[in-house]
Structure 1
């Protein structure tokens, strides 16, 4: 009965509303500093399409980083919490595309490519939905190569908040803090994988996102989160757990 209660549409709707209100509370009661936003804001102001990328663990405040008028579509998995996230961002005027770049990848990528063709913003967590933490998967590379639009990384941290013990070390910002939003530089992925182009782009996205996240944590007095160990034994463990 309790499981059915949690799966009910009304409960998911309430949870999504509460999550959206919490994001609003943190955003409005904190003082935010935005850094290196020039190029990203030009894309937003000109309504030029791009792929917005951030680590899964920094998902909470991401509905606040784009301009209010921007048309945003977020790739959200079919996992249990996906519906709550979808409803939460809906209250911020953002739309969701259900699926992932691993399970059921083709329909999800097609939908995201359509969004980019319509000159809108496609949002993806390159290490989601299950990790390894802070390690870029192939989906974002395929999407950028096929669409021809850049990947722009972003991250945030706050002086008031903590990382959970989840696989992604999900960062929960708290109200009345000082936060920073750090944007990275646009990363272009060639259409053809020549001379290791895809691997190079993958490393660049991963390095920028990790540097941005760790720099944001340092500026806010938080202990920087480290990427997951991607040794074969650890990667296998992540797949089967």
Structure 2
């Protein structure tokens, strides 16, 4: 990302720490639970819907840092919104591969392949960064197929939450709510046609939501 003017750098800094503080304050008031599924000892692909982005840093602390002590990197767009997300997730030890299906797709794929070769998991919101809601971008399939990766879905459900009027219907748990985090069992799409694989991924993500609802 090109060097920002001083006013924008200040705005980014304030936004970064304000959002980070809000997320932590809400998270600390909530009652959390996590299912028993685990990630493998080798690189994999992890997918979650864009509207579950808000609390996924806390899932990372559980499944990567606390249990596995390995690293994963998130594919994040080169847009300005992506810069804010990159800064926030860095506080949780999460790295970023910059680029997306709408901007910098080749760079994102190349970066993802390099990280996998280095033993790093790739984490993707398949309908990000700009939707449509609950769509699956080709990149999620291409990465998994080219590297013959196991895929895991990740989600959280809250018994009380705000749903924002954004394209992704972003969900943020309310303070003092109950939040269930869930990692799926693995599946593969290696030998599937592109559209069949995308439908498989979509169904697995919806299944994770339905199985984890209150």
Q: TM-score range by the shorter chain?
A: 0.7 to 0.9
Higher relative contact order (CA 8 A, sep 6+): 2
Q: Give TM-score, length-normalised by structure 2.
A: 0.87
For the Cα contact (< 8 Å) 2:52–2:171, is it kept in 1?
yes
Change (3 A) 1:147 1:213: same
1:141 touches 1:202 (CA, 8 Å); kept in 2? Answer: yes
Distance 1:80 1:71 in 2: 24
Partner of 1:166: 166
Residues 50, 126 of structure 2: 8 Å contact kept: yes
Partner of 2:175: 175
| 2:12 paired residue number | 12
Preserved CA contact (<8 Å) 1:156 1:180: yes
User: Pairwise CA RMSD of aligned residues?
Assistant: 2.0
Q: 1:215 to 1:165 in 2, by over 3 A?
A: farther
TM-score by length of 1: 0.78
Aligned-residue offset at 1:124? 0.7
Further displaced range: 60-69 or 120-129: 60-69
User: Where does the alignment leave 5 or more consecutive residues of structure 1 unmatched?
Assistant: 220-241
Question: In structure 2, what is the equivalent of residue 89 of structure 1?
Answer: 89
Cα displacement string for residues 99-133 of structure 1 (whole angstroms, at most 9, x for unaligned residues): 10332211111101111111111111001111110
Larger Rg: 1
Hey, what's the Cα distance between the residues in 2 that align with 1:77 and 1:188? 25
Aligned to 2:140: 140
* Aligned twin of 2:194: 198
> Does structure 1 residue 208 correspond to structure 2 residue 204?
yes
Q: Quick one: distance in 2 between partners of 1:175 and 1:12? A: 25
More off after superposition, 164-173 vs 94-103: 94-103
* Contiguous gaps of at least 5 residues in structure 2: none
Question: Does the Cα contact within 8 Å between 1:150 and 1:187 map onto a contact in 2?
Answer: yes
Match of 1:50 in 2: 44
State how far apart, in whole Å, the 2-side matches of 1:63 and 1:206 are: 22
Report how far residue 156 of structure 1 moved: 0.7
Alpha-carbon distance, 1:7 to partner: 6.0
Paired with 1:18 and 1:52, the residues of 2 have a C-alpha distance of 27
The 8 Å contact of residues 160 and 174 in structure 1, kept in 2 or not, is answered as: yes
Shift of 1:168: 0.5
Task: Answer whether contact 2:54 2:171 (CA < 8 A) is retained.
Answer: yes
For these two proteins, the number of residue pairs brought into alignment is 205
Q: Is the 8 A contact 2:50 2:128 kept in 1?
A: yes
